[in-house]
A and B are shown apart, each in its own frame.
Chain A
């Protein structure tokens, strides 16, 4: 009986260790992507870092309940999307706590575009286009923005986006289509 209990405890600790190692690997693999999605959504590096940490903390707490029905990335992205939603909801309610926003402006965000082999003029044009896309993305509804960023920045498949956002694939397509139309209008309107 005692030997059985000791064996069970050993098995449990081994399982915990394996789960811990698995989770560490998941964090190392997916942290940059989660951070990138949150950064492109909020344009606030500090807030993105905080939300990324919260996302992995929440994921760690619920790691046992993750059944692998979707990929770990999709599951983490779903948590990140929900955290972001909660954050904005709380912020709207607690506007008196944080009146200051640390979001980087669009000009600064477009400065990160690498020059590559472009001429100076082409580089300036490309920066302007990036700024316009950024403005268009900012003007999208929350859902359209999320879908657009997951598709064109994170390059996720439609089925993965549907699972991460909790909406069906047809609706994802419709949101993408509208988002693209707005981006196009922004690019066309400023020409």
Chain B
């Protein structure tokens, strides 16, 4: 079966080649496509291949992979160190904060205790009469007379 017959046969299955003109064009286009692929392939298969470029590309790729690897390792190590230091600093701040809170609480408790004692003292001092007061009153009356 010729190439043209083959296209005609297969294109009729889908109703492609309903018109002779269309079929001719399709046949010609596909034939040209085949021809160009054949010529291109013959040229490509006989061309010299550049191995140096591939090698150089490989070296660059290796270097890039190493650089990326080093960067990742350095990044993860420095990240770990930074995280450790940051945590230590946070722990120090938290400890200082807790100590400050404890100091304030202790001071507050001491102050409350002192205030309570002062209040008790003042209350007691008001309720208990002075022992010398009657004598003082007598002396005051005598002086006025």
Contacts and interface: CB of A to CB of B under 8 A. Distances in A.
A179 to B, nearest CB: 9
A66 B79 CA distance: 58
A110 B22 contact: no
Contacts of B90: none
Interface string A154-190: 0100000000000000000110111011011001100
Given A153-B34, A184-B11, A112 B29 contact: no
Interface in A57-104: none
A182 to B, nearest CB: 10
A35 interface: yes
A183 B45 CA distance: 27
Interface stretch (B36-44, B108-116, B121-129, B137-145): B36-44
Interface in B14-49: 14-16, 22, 25-26, 28-30, 32-45, 47, 49
Contacts, number: 103
28 contacts: A31-B45, A36-B37, A36-B38, A36-B41, A39-B44, A48-B44, A109-B36, A110-B36, A113-B35, A113-B39, A114-B36, A130-B29, A130-B32, A130-B33, A132-B29, A133-B33, A152-B34, A153-B34, A153-B38, A155-B3, A155-B34, A177-B13, A177-B14, A180-B16, A183-B29, A184-B22, A187-B25, A187-B26
Interface of A: 31-32, 35-36, 39-40, 45-46, 48-49, 109-110, 112-114, 126, 129-130, 132-134, 137, 151-153, 155, 173-174, 176-178, 180-181, 183-184, 187-188
